[in-house]
Every structure is written in C-alpha cells, then in structure tokens.
C-alpha cells in the first residue's frame, strides 16, 4: 500500500518565523489533504490539494503530483499554529493514508 | 449547525466489555469512516461505509464492528476481542473527498 512520510517530525519556531512542512508519497495519489490537529485533538481541514497550489491567509500548500510530494507553508507563525500537522492521501476517492505528522511548537 | 457529532467524548471500558461509540452527521454525506489514533501517531482506518447497509474493513478492523442502517449514523462497537482498545477514535464523513472529522472519543480501559 501507499506509504506517507512527513518531515520534519518535530519543529520549534519563534513567533513570526516562516516554515515549510513536507509530505512524500511512495506512489501516486489522486486525493490529498492537509490537517491541523490542535491540543484538544480536533482535526481541522486545511487544504484539499491533489495538485497545484492553494492559499488561505498565512497558510499555503503546493502539491506536485508527478513527483509525489506536497508542501505546506506557514508564514508569520503564531502561537495558535502549534499542534500536529498531518498530510493524508490515497489512490481512491474513499481512502486516506495518514503520515505520522509534524509536531510544531511556536514560542512567543 | 451542520457537522459531525461524536459521543461520548470520554469512555471507559471494563475488561471483557463491549462498548459502542456514536457518530452522527447532518451533512448529507454518503460515505462515513472510523479511524483510530494512538499517541504520537497518525490515524489508521478501521472501517468505512460508502452507502447505507454496506461497509468495508479498513487496515485495522480486527476487534471492531460497525453498522450503517441510516445515512446519518455509523456507530462503532469496540468488542472484547480488541485487546488494546485504549486510543482516540475519530469519525469522518464525505462525498468522495475531502473528508470532514468529528471531535473524537477517547477510550480508556478501567
């Protein structure tokens, strides 16, 4: 089955810094999502991005489907950005395989 | 409000006991999913259902059972056969992609 690898596993930032999170897939995917899990466990949809680039405020994402990777950019980080960021993808419209996540801590 | 409601938020199971986790959605989504999350790890798929009265096993279905009698509801039963049930359980729904998630149920063993 498809393997999903996320990097880095852990990241500590000073408030205001920028960062890039990466997600690699072992095989082609035709659906891909980025999520933020807050300290209370809630999983928040950030982007549905099987290909191309999208932006939402300080966050943006780019997926290069032909090279089997996706990037999540966080600009001007805030303490509320802390948590775990997951990417998930699959080769069918009904199944998602999750990576192990990137744990982000933004210090004031 | 439209969304996915999971209950209870916290659940405790005694040895040898079956427990059922509730998941209800009012988003008119055809597909519903159950995931398990262990500490420090990503989510793993337990079961999913694409239509009423039909469901398929995911990657870690052993020790779990589900039903899909109504479009809005997809309850998960953690049976006594699941020897390590302590985890965070998340329900999701969608019409294809993207999937939308409930707030989860934390299950612990007494």
The Cα–Cα gap between A8 and A25 comes to 15
Strand (E) positions, B38-99? 43-51, 54-57, 64-66, 76-78, 87-94
Contact, B30 vs B95, CB < 8 A? yes
How far away is chain A from the Cα of B18, in angstroms, using its nearest Cα? 24
CB contact under 8 A, A41 and B88: yes
Chain B residues whose beta carbon lies within 8 Å of the beta carbon of residue A93? 96-97
Structure token digits, residue B44: 């793993």
pLDDT tens, residue by residue, A21-54: 999 999 988 889 999 999 889 999 999 999 999 9
> Which of B87, B106, B103, B109 is CA-nearest to residue B6?
B103
DSSP state of B51: E
Q: What is the pLDDT tens value at each position of chain B, 110 positions in all?
A: 569 999 999 999 888 899 999 999 999 999 999 999 999 899 999 999 999 999 999 999 999 999 999 999 999 999 988 889 999 999 999 987 789 999 999 999 88
CB contact under 8 A, B45 and A86: no
């Amino acid at each position: 089955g498809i393997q999903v690898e996320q990097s880095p596993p852990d990241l500590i930032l000073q408030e205001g810094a920028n960062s890039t999170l990466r997600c690699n897939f072992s095989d082609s995917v035709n659906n891909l999502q980025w999520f933020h899990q807050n300290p209370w466990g809630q999983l928040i949809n950030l982007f549905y991005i099987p290909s191309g680039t999208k932006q939402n405020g300080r966050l943006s994402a780019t997926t290069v489907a032909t090279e089997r990777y996706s990037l999540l950019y966080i600009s001007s980080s805030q303490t509320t950005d802390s948590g775990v960021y997951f990417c998930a993808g699959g080769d069918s419209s009904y199944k998602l395989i999750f990576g192990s996540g990137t744990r982000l801590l933004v210090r004031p | 409000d439209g969304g996915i409601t999971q209950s209870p938020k916290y659940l405790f199971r005694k040895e040898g006991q079956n427990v059922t986790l509730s998941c209800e959605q009012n988003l008119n989504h055809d597909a519903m999913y159950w995931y398990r999350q262990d500490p420090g790890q990503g989510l793993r798929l337990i079961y999913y259902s694409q239509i009423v009265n039909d469901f398929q096993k995911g990657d870690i279905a052993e020790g779990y059972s589900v039903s899909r009698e109504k479009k809005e509801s997809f309850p998960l039963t953690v049976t006594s056969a699941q020897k390590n049930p302590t985890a965070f359980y998340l329900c999701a729904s969608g019409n294809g992609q993207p999937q939308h998630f409930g707030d989860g149920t934390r299950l612990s063993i007494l």
